[in-house]
Amino acid sequence: MRAFSDEELERYSRHILLQDVGIEGQEKIMDASVLIIGAGGLGSPIALYLAAAGVGRIGLVDGDVVDLSNLQRQVIHTTAEIGTPKVLSAKRKIEAINPHVHVETYQRMVDASNIVELVSKYDFIIDGTDNFSAKFLINDACVLAKKPYSHGGILRFGGQTMTIAPHESACYACVFDAPPPANAVPTCSSAGILGAVAGMLGTIQATEALKYITGVGELLHNKLLSFDAKTMQFRTINLAKNPACRVCGGTGITHVRDYEAVVCEMKR
């Protein structure tokens, strides 16, 4: 068992007090690694809470820089950091919250050439992206590498999430099959997003990661959790693994491929 310092015992005391977590659970958290793909609206609260929890190694993947329009919801970034790569901005906050966390940054967008290698290095993957092509690619890579991951999506006043155990529970493609055609579904940049909704869903995804790491509670396997912030109504839809799924059904996939980017034009 890890020898906790007095500082660590105090820092994580509220976890250690939890009967279902305790010293052993906190040790699991500190020995774990999580890859967060996307350092924006979802990635911000996810990174902050996982850092505070003491996840030992956090990977951040994002090829974008901080923009003024990000600051309404991407709470890990500041006005002074406009123009700064998001992964570097986020790394600074993580290290300020918890210097014990080792942060690895990847200033790039995920694609078929790098996704499998990236997910293979971590225990749990979190999808904090904002486009369908990336979401389907992440699902394919995690299924192929047999890596558990959390899917998340937000738009306007709503959010949805599910946790995937590859080859055991329904994967993203079991439920949605393929990306929608161009302009069929709006994006946050074209339809808007209430900033706090990103925080609501991001904290749920961070919680799922910590539950997976510690083995506490029931994960959102074969379940799609969605909510409408306008009414504060939450709904859980039961799902089933599709034996004929093109990604995880039958013999499954043997490689990953890039999906065509789905564009929704901004309406002015």
Q: Give me the amino acid identity at 111.
A: D
Contacts of residue 211, defined as CB under 8 A and 6 or more positions apart, other chains included, come to 217, 218, 219
DSSP conformation class of 81: G
Task: Average pLDDT across each block of 10 residues of the chain; the chain has 268 residues. List them in order.
Answer: 94 98 98 98 98 98 98 98 98 98 98 98 97 96 98 96 96 92 61 94 98 98 98 98 94 92 45
Q: Which CATH number, 1.20.1250.20, 3.40.1190.20, 3.40.50.300, 3.40.50.720, labels domain 32-238?
A: 3.40.50.720
Q: In this structure, are residues 25 and 214 in contact, taking their beta carbons and an 8 Å threshold? A: yes
SS3 95: helix
Q: State residue 179's pLDDT score.
A: 87
Q: Give me the amino acid identity at 196.
A: A
* All structural domains of the chain with their residue ranges: 32-238
Residue 25's Cβ-count burial label (10 Å; 0-12, 13-18, 19+) is buried
Residue 200 phi, psi dihedral angles, 5° rounding: -60, -50
Which tokens sit at 194?
Answer: 């209430």
Q: State residue 190's pLDDT score.
A: 63
Nearest to 208, CA basis, from 178, 244, 169, 250: 169
Instruction: Identify any residues that bridge with 59 across adjacent strands, giving them in sequence order.
Output: 35, 104
Centroid of chain to Cα 190: 22
Q: State residue 250's pLDDT score.
A: 87
Q: How far apart are CA 54 and CA 32, in angstroms?
A: 9
Q: How far apart are CA 90 and CA 33, in angstroms?
A: 16
Give how far Cα 115 sits from Cα of 67, 72, 120, 245, Å: 25, 29, 9, 21
Give how far Cα 56 sits from Cα of 43, 97, 180, 183, Å: 17, 13, 37, 40
